[in-house]
Amino acid sequence: MSAAWKNLLLRHETILGVLLVITLIVLAFQSDRFFTADNLLNQGRLMAEVGLVALAMTFVIVTGGIDLSVGSILGLVAILLGVFWQKLGLPLPLAMMLGIVVGGVAGLVNGLIITRFGVPPLIATLATLALYRGLAEGISQARSVRGYPDWFFMLGQGEFLGVPVQLWIFGLCAVIAAVILGLSTFGRATYAIGSNAVAARFSGLSVDRSLLLIYTASGLIAGLAAVIFVSRVSTTRSDMGTGLELDVITAVVLGGTSIFGGRGTIIGTLLGLGLMQALKNGLALAGVKGDGTIVVIGAVLIGTILISNIFRKDADG
Amino acid sequence: MIRKTLFAAAALAAMAGSAFAASAWTGGDDLPTNPLACDGTAGAAAAKPYDGGEPTGAPDRKGKKITVVDVPKLIGIGYFNATSKGIADAAKELGNVDAKTDGPTQANIDQQITFIDNYITSGVDGILFAANDPVAIAPVLKKALSKGINVVGYDANSQPDARQWFVNQAEFNGIAKAMVDNLAKEIGEEGAFAIVTSTFTTPNQARWIAEMAAYAEKCHPKMKWLETVEAQEDNVLSFNQATTLINKYGDELKGIFGMTSVATPASAEAVTQANKCGTIAVVGLATPNAMKPYVEKDCVKSVVLWNPVDLGYAAMQVLRAVADGDLKPGATSVKAGKLGELQVINGSEILLGAPFVFSKENIGQFDF
Amino acid sequence: MSDIALPVRRPSSFARLFEAYGQEIVVLAAIVVLFAIVGLVNPRFLSDTNLTSIFSGNAYIAVAAIGMAMVIISGHIDVSVGSLIGVLATIAGTLAVSGYPIWVAWLVPVLVGIAINTCLGALIAYMRIPSIVATLGMLSILKGGLISATGGTWITGMPPGFFIAQARLFGIPSPVYFMVVLTILVALWMRYSATGRSIYAVGGNAEAARASGLNPERTCVLVFALHGFFAGIAALLFATQLQVIQSTVPPNLELTVITAAVIGGVSILGGTGTVIGSTLAAILFACIGSALIFLNVSAYWLRAVLGLLILATVLADMARRRRGLSP
Amino acid sequence: MTPLVELTGISKSFVGVKVLDHVDFDVRPGEVHALLGENGAGKSTLIKIIAGVHAADEGEIRIGGEAMKFANPGQAVKAGIAIVYQELLLFPELSVAENIFLNHAPRTGWGGLDWAEMRRKARALLDDLESHHLDVDTKVGSLSVANRQRIEIAKALSQNARVVIMDEPTASLAEGDVQQLMTIIRRLRERGVGIVYVSHKLPEIFALADRVTVLRDGHYVGTKDIKEVTERSLVAMMVGRSIDQLFPKEDAPIGKVLLELRGVSHGKQVRDVSLTLRAGEILGIAGLVGSGRTETALTIFGITPATAGTILIDGKPVQISSPQQARDLGIAYVPEDRGLQGLVRPQTIAENISLTVLKKLARGFIVDRGKEDSLARDFIKRLGIRARGPGQAARQLSGGNQQKVVLAKWLAAEPRILIMDEPTRGIDVGAKSEIHALMSKLAQNGLAILMISSELPEVLGMSDRVLVMNGGRIVAEIARKDATPETVGAAMTLVQEREAAA
């Protein structure tokens, strides 16, 4: 077996892919309702928001950073969407755009705190996690906004060619993200920054600008996810997206992105997402309760990274 | 450029914030209120036609064994443990129901929706739910109906057309009246009080607070509301918040409303540890077991609650009746096992009864 | 050439103190200012009952933050501490209710905390799993496992002697003693003992520490074991504060504990910080929580204000460090 | 006389690759034993085996005549072996005294640390090393490299080391500090300490060593008394071939002025620097570490933009406030710290080389992998980079080849002005001469090269002109024909003495 083949086989993504296939087979045997197009599409609908945010989070973690504030940004944008539309009387499409823009601004603020003041991303976004959620609560005054027009629900509840609309959006974003991270100059710069930010800067890459862009994108995507979320659940509440960041980070890390930066792929993140959602859904269908599922996901997270570490140790020597 | 954007965003946020008018008491919602008469005479409730939904293509389940899943707002708190127990009791009694409870560990709409969605796929015959958000949960419940699943709510309602029936533990205005009347009795018509709630976004609590504000204004206009604080569903935080209220207002504070089964015992504990038993009254919603130590020590005189075990029991009975085809739109009452005949109100709601006030005399008889 | 004695610049003692304990001083100053302002607005804020509740009601956070500070100083992080405290509190309550002697109910959770976190530390040290990943997994396992095991039933009816956190000595509640004594002991230990210094060394530069004959893996396991000990004590204070134990995971506790450690000056990059800072920060949080109610800050905006304050502290710290860098 | 440490027949393999093959080595009391070899020859592995970091697969280690096996570095320390690493392993947040006594601090009766004793002993050790100016309570993070090295040596002495291993101790020291270090080493030798001295710098070895052992590709080549060898014969032993000229600067036509600095300043590190650099010229900058050499380069390269003065390219004033701008103006900078500033070590050779020209390699915004690959292949051939291929990770290469990758990265950007900061630091002799040859060729092709180096022979051998910096200023300009170790050295130290006297 050639070294290249061996390398490919021992990649985290390959291990994860095999694990995912095994999981799918086992779960399919556990419940005959699991492996149906209907169920799988529906699971896609449910994971679209986490998935979208995970795409941007992959970039963030590849640079060696982290963004804990995404769940709060989602809540803030959801609230503002409702407020812009209902209280300020803006047309709904404009309110949607504005909401997403606010998400981008929130991400930009994260980026500015991190690049301009040199605050470690974990701390910076820990602070904005509280701040953005607080703004959402303060602005909403705990009121929810309801009664959106029917066309708006197309985004979160509708279908296009038999596939949930948000799955199309997610798929499109995933392809774009995969191309950018894997093939583009910007992706290259992202990896270089995550592996060695100083060397990247000394090579004439604009490190700060790249980081700003990535954190802004993370906010924008969280904003987009918020709009889809509101459309899916037909209402706006300030506690939306609570704890989202942990799900997202779990998926990304499960997907083989190194928390220290420099390593990770969109394919890996997609596999990680798939495995997580398959476990949640499949175990529920197989009769395991929600709390048991949480335990399994935690164990799978540790186990996968452990296996991957052991293989990598062998490969590196 | 960046600065301008930020400034614009801040301005926009401020505008948005001020766009909301403040309601009477912090923590209430902005839906219309319907306070009961001060003397307790029942208002003339206009008879409403059935406004619930109907499952499509439901098979004939009469007398057949059915699987039912109960998805409460969250699992792991005393209140929903009690409803879950009631559901299990009823299932056992009926003998032809296979019921289980499963749900999120935090009161999170998204997770609750995911749970229900998974159970629809797994092919249950009936779903019982307590909604974290009446609107957000509607699409997934409608989906359940469209798959021929019987859907019945309890504790916290959804939009009426998204489920068949809702078992109402007590009407909001009824709870509000019981709470405010009991506190007024203890602290007098001019006493000042504060509220400890879970979060301002929890629909039931927000509804109660709004109804309480309306009722107090109508019937006890001189009572003084001081402040509402949030304490999640967290024991120690509730205790700390209540303690801070006691410290802040000193002698001015005469009473505390606990709006959740977590906040009420924690507030009682705070009063006990501050040695204010007898000077600060605690009235609230709570389960009897958690309140026994305080009621027995005379620190808390009245605990308002329906019996959540009965609530779960009734919900299960109603679901069985619907599945059997015994409860049809337009019915005015339903048989609910040991609870007897329950009344239908508001078109598609089934009333459990008037809220129950636990006191030192009767609290020992309950164990949940 | 070495005859020329170079003048040694000896900075003033305050400058030295500030260099060594800058963040601690900032946090302490924030507490003092807060007390002054809120005390002026509403003197009841300074009443002994309120001070007592500020200090004792949140002491468990400070105790947990001691362990967290050590973990972060050693270059790791633990996001599972909230779940661990929930599990340990439940164990304590269950044992007490089941009729075991009270000292067993006190001791076992601490031992279990040490055991669980020792495993966690071993996983991180010897299996090379990044601590955030390992503890993220542990968070799920503990949280899910707790609910599976207990179904979320509340625990009541513990024997009266169990409530250690409600005991008072000279009018001061016992949690305050726990907080103060543990903080001072650990601060001294970290500052002056060989093992304590090795934690800073490992967190500052693990490879260098290894080459100096220290054993970073063992240090990591030790730190997590100690962290488990403090989580156990925190769980005891948490469990015995009230008559009822909620056998669930306290929401967002891990974030509060991490934030306390970090605001207290413990660098997330490892190698710096003190537990005095983390305890002061925990007290600051308790003060802010109480002060916002006293200042009639609209409850809706409470969390936003808290977030702003955290951000301000972090930025002030960054500014101070920058100034420290340039000569 | 029994050797302090004696190794016989030591072999060691990593993942099937033999890095040491039956190597013998010994250190006697009171001698400096130099260990020589190109990078990858196995020097680091050998000293790590002595220090107990690695265990040998085969062979025997005797300490003071007794066979020993070290399971960890701690045991080696106990046996009296201390190592001063190339990358100094100190803890920036701990004080000087703590760093010295980490892990073996004096204890009080009840087991706590005896801080007073620790500070007193640290003081005594530092005084012994003529380092009276170091305060034992300062945090190490604020000290210079030379001072940190003294602390490492003090640390070794504090452990009663009988054998001190020094891995490239002068790699990051300026000339003056090197002299002081040598004084310290000679003093240790007088006390009977055995010293293992690993260095690439032949003059130092001739100045210090008593014996020298040469390794090549993991094989033991031989141990010689220093009096038996010459520079040339040592190099021949190391590379297995003879190198005729170490610093082969060839004449190149000097063209027009490409870069000019007029009164450029940045903070206190760069003060009023004026210089000109012409096409085809190699301009050497000599000076001590901290004299402002690297800082000037960083200012030209836009990392620390100038706060005063003008930079002119082709006679036109330009603003350079970021490395991107510098690159776009045709300036390249091969940095001092290869590992930190030069390479993205986990990435492949191709990915490293393409970093500066990503935009040019891209079709639209997608990187053209084919072009990238052929670019890397081209440079691997042109610069003689010894690697499996463009897909090999940069971290797996030897120091010299890593440096070539960094150089390739910047040559890919087709610069007209090349700044090279310590171009051959920590590189073996063979690769060093290759890089020097490359520099000559580049100059001949019309590139203007600004070279910063701490090695005087390199500065003298390669430069057309030499600038000497001190205290952020240029204090002397010396033409090639006048540049001798004496003139340049005098310019560097004269000022220092003047400042010290002031």
CATH architecture of residue range(s) A35-309:
Orthogonal Bundle (1.10)
Kindly list the distances between the CA atom of residue C323 and the CA atoms of C14, C19, D92, in Å, as whole numbers in the listed order: 16, 11, 17
Nearest CA in chain C to D52: C211
In the predicted structure, residue D174 carries a pLDDT above the cut 60: yes
- C146-203 pLDDT, tens digit per residue, is 888 877 677 877 888 888 888 788 878 889 899 999 999 998 888 877 788 888 888 8
Distance CA B230, CA B242 (A): 10
Distance CA D56, CA D70 (A): 9
The model's confidence at residue B2, banded by pLDDT at 50, 70 and 90, is: low
Q: Which residue has the tokens 């052992």?
A: D213
Q: Is the dihedral of CA D415, D418, D422, D424 positive or negative?
A: positive
Distance CA D408, CA D326 (A): 17
Question: In this complex, do C298 and A294 lie within 8 Å of one another by their Cβ atoms?
Answer: no
Query: Closest Cα of chain C to A200: distance in Å?
Result: 21
Query: Closest Cα of chain B to A269: distance in Å?
Result: 21
Q: What is the pLDDT of residue C6?
A: 39
* Greatest CA separation for chain C: 80
Chains B and D touch (3+ CB pairs under 8 A): no
Distance CA A198, CA A203 (A): 9
Q: ipTM strictly over 0.85? A: no
CATH number assigned to the domain comprising residue C182: 1.10.3470
Q: What are the tokens at B23?
A: 């309601």
The per-residue b/e assignment along D8-43, b for 16 or more CB within 10 angstroms, e otherwise, is: eebbbeeeeeebbbebebbbbbbbbbbbbbbbbbbb
Residues 215-274 of A with CB under 8 A from C: 246, 249-250, 253, 258-260
Query: What is the per-residue DSSP string for A67-127?
Result: -TTHHHHHHHHHHHHHIIIIIS---HHHHHHHHHHHHHHHHHHHHHHHHHH---HHHHHHH
**Residues A247-261, mean pLDDT to the nearest whole number:** 89
CB-based contact, B231 to chain C, within 8 Å: no
* Burial degree of D244 (CB within 10 A; 0-12, 13-18, 19+): exposed
- D23-52 pLDDT, tens digit per residue, is 888 888 889 999 887 666 788 888 888 888
Closest CA to C75 of C280, C212, C254, C217: C217
Domain coverage including residue C270: 42-314
Residues of chain C with Cβ-Cβ distance to A243 below 8 Å are none
Kindly list the distances between the CA atom of residue B258 and the CA atoms of B130, B230, B242, C276, in Å, as whole numbers in the listed order: 20, 11, 9, 36
Question: In this complex, do C204 and D98 lie within 8 Å of one another by their Cβ atoms?
Answer: no
Closest CA to A79 of A54, A109, A106: A106
Query: What is the per-residue DSSP string for D304-365?
Result: S--SEEEEEETTEEE---SHHHHHHTTEEEE-S-IIIII--TTSBHHHHHGGGGHHHHEETT
What single letter denotes the amino acid at residue B44? A
The per-residue b/e assignment along A83-104, b for 16 or more CB within 10 angstroms, e otherwise, is: bbbbbeebeeeebbbbbbbbbb
Residue C26 lies in a domain: no
* Burial degree of B128 (CB within 10 A; 0-12, 13-18, 19+): buried
User: Domain segments of chain B: what residues?
Assistant: 66-169+307-352, 171-305
User: Domain segments of chain A: what residues?
Assistant: 35-309
In CATH terms, are B66-169+307-352 and B171-305 the same topology? yes
Query: Closest Cα of chain A to B291: distance in Å?
Result: 28
Question: In this complex, do A192 and D354 lie within 8 Å of one another by their Cβ atoms?
Answer: no
Q: Which residue has the tokens 């390398």?
A: A7
The per-residue b/e assignment along A28-64, b for 16 or more CB within 10 angstroms, e otherwise, is: beebebbbeeebbebbbbbbbbbbbbbbbbbbbbbbb
Lowest mean pLDDT among A94-98, C23-27, C226-230, D140-144: D140-144
Give yes or no for a contact between C65 and C278, defined as CB atoms under 8 angstroms apart: yes
In the predicted structure, residue D112 carries a pLDDT above the cut 60: yes
The values of phi and psi at residue B198, to 5°, are -80, -80
Give yes or no for a contact between C133 and A305, defined as CB atoms under 8 angstroms apart: yes
Give yes or no for a contact between A201 and A115, defined as CB atoms under 8 angstroms apart: no
The model's confidence at residue B35, banded by pLDDT at 50, 70 and 90, is: confident
- 3-state percent helix, strand, coil for chain A, nearest multiple of 5: 80, 0, 20
Q: What is the pLDDT of residue C242?
A: 82
Give yes or no for a contact between D137 and D115, defined as CB atoms under 8 angstroms apart: no
Residue C87 lies in a domain: yes
Give yes or no for a contact between A229 and A48, defined as CB atoms under 8 angstroms apart: no
Residues of chain B with Cβ-Cβ distance to A294 below 8 Å are 105
Residue C24 lies in a domain: no
- 3-state percent helix, strand, coil for chain B, nearest multiple of 5: 40, 20, 40
Q: What are the tokens at A1?
A: 């077996």
Please state the separation of Cα B88 from the chain's center in Å: 20
Please state the separation of Cα B364 from the chain's center in Å: 23
- D332-390 pLDDT, tens digit per residue, is 999 988 878 888 888 889 999 998 888 888 888 888 888 899 999 999 998 888 888 88
In the predicted structure, residue C325 carries a pLDDT above the cut 80: no
CATH topology of domain B66-169+307-352: Rossmann fold (3.40.50)
Name residue B335's beta-bridge partners.
B341
* Greatest CA separation for chain D: 75
Closest CA to D26 of D163, D184, D209: D163
Q: What is the pLDDT of residue D246?
A: 58
Give yes or no for a contact between B235 and C244, defined as CB atoms under 8 angstroms apart: yes
Question: In this complex, do C152 and B27 lie within 8 Å of one another by their Cβ atoms?
Answer: no
The model's confidence at residue A173, banded by pLDDT at 50, 70 and 90, is: very high
CATH architecture of residue range(s) B171-305:
3-Layer(aba) Sandwich (3.40)
Residue C170 lies in a domain: yes
Residue C290 lies in a domain: yes
Question: Which residue intervals of A141-254 are DSSP H helices?
Answer: 154-157, 165-183, 185-195, 197-202, 207-233, 244-254
Query: What is the per-residue DSSP string for B234-245?
Result: -HHHHHHHHHHH
Q: E strands within chain C?
A: 168-169, 172-173
Question: In this complex, do A195 and D344 lie within 8 Å of one another by their Cβ atoms?
Answer: yes
CB-based contact, C217 to chain D, within 8 Å: no
Q: Which residue has the tokens 């070294």?
A: A3
Question: In this complex, do D341 and A199 lie within 8 Å of one another by their Cβ atoms?
Answer: yes
Number of structural domains found in chain C? 1
Give yes or no for a contact between B270 and B239, defined as CB atoms under 8 angstroms apart: yes
- B94-106 pLDDT, tens digit per residue, is 888 888 888 887 7
- B248-298 pLDDT, tens digit per residue, is 888 888 999 998 888 898 899 889 888 888 888 898 888 787 888 888 888
* Greatest CA separation for chain A: 66
Please state the separation of Cα B257 from the chain's center in Å: 15
Q: What is the pLDDT of residue A316?
A: 43
The residues, any chain, with a CB within 8 Å of residue C23's CB and separated by 6 or more, are: C263, C264, C265, C273, C277, C317, C320
